[in-house]
Amino acid sequence: MTPKSKSTAGPDRRKSGLLVVISAPSGGGKSTVIRKLRNKHPEYLYSISATTRQRRKGERNGVHYHYMTRPEFESSVKRNRFAEWARVHDDYYGTPLANIERARKLGKVMLFDLDVQGAAALRRAEPSVVSIFLMPPSWEVLKSRLEARGSESDAQRRRRLTTARTELKRRFEYEYWVTNNRLADCVSDCEAIIRAEQLRRIA
């Protein structure tokens, strides 16, 4: 676990909950880590993103994503209903402003599962957000994890590997790095960061 920087907490941040974005290169395990965190901490809220991509087997609307058609998504963009949004792999993804408003109202931790592009946009919109980047133990491990998924074509895997190299280069934009080697240790490190940030905001 490597702290990258330290920011100053203001009084408004103490009262408005804690926004925590977790990113990783493609295949880096951020969704698994977030799921484990929420299993251990049911009080943590989770920001369900909106997307235009097709639903995968086993996914449910309003649980994994808010699935929207392109016209619906574009209409929401025009109405400024997203804190951030972006096009990724030919589909649109966005963070509803309502999610952030809910965290502020309840004063709770809210976790965001975002790629580097979405995380950068969220930080611009919400400078108080805490950012964690999950590092793979090595490039070979990351590559094998992507190949083991078996849910994508060779062309899709190659594209994700190319994207992953670019995403790794942007790790310096994050406050914290956590190596995702042993899952339990990775989750514990993320817990420690969240707890420390909570304490810092009430000091």
Which is nearest to 176 in space by CA: 28, 13, 30, 22? Answer: 22
Q: Residue 11 — very low, low, confident or very high, per pLDDT cuts 50/70/90?
A: very low
Q: What is the pLDDT of residues 56-113, one digit of tens each?
A: 888 899 988 999 999 999 999 999 999 999 887 789 999 999 999 999 999 999 999 9
pLDDT on residue 203: 55
Structure confidence by residue, pLDDT tens digits, 175-186: 999 999 999 999
What pTM does this model have?
0.83
Written as six digits, the tokens of 49 are 């993103």
pLDDT at 28 over 70: yes
State the pLDDT confidence band at 161, using cuts at 50, 70 and 90.
Answer: confident
The CA distances from residue 163 to 24, 123, 124, 189, in Å, are 11, 20, 22, 26
121-130: buried (b, 16+ CB within 10 Å) or exposed (e) per residue? bbbeebebbb
pLDDT of residue 152: 64
For 130-145, what is the mean pLDDT?
88
Torsion angle in degrees (nearest 10) through CA of 108, 109, 112, 113: -130
Mean per-residue pLDDT for 17-31? 91
Mean pLDDT, rounded, of the chain: 87
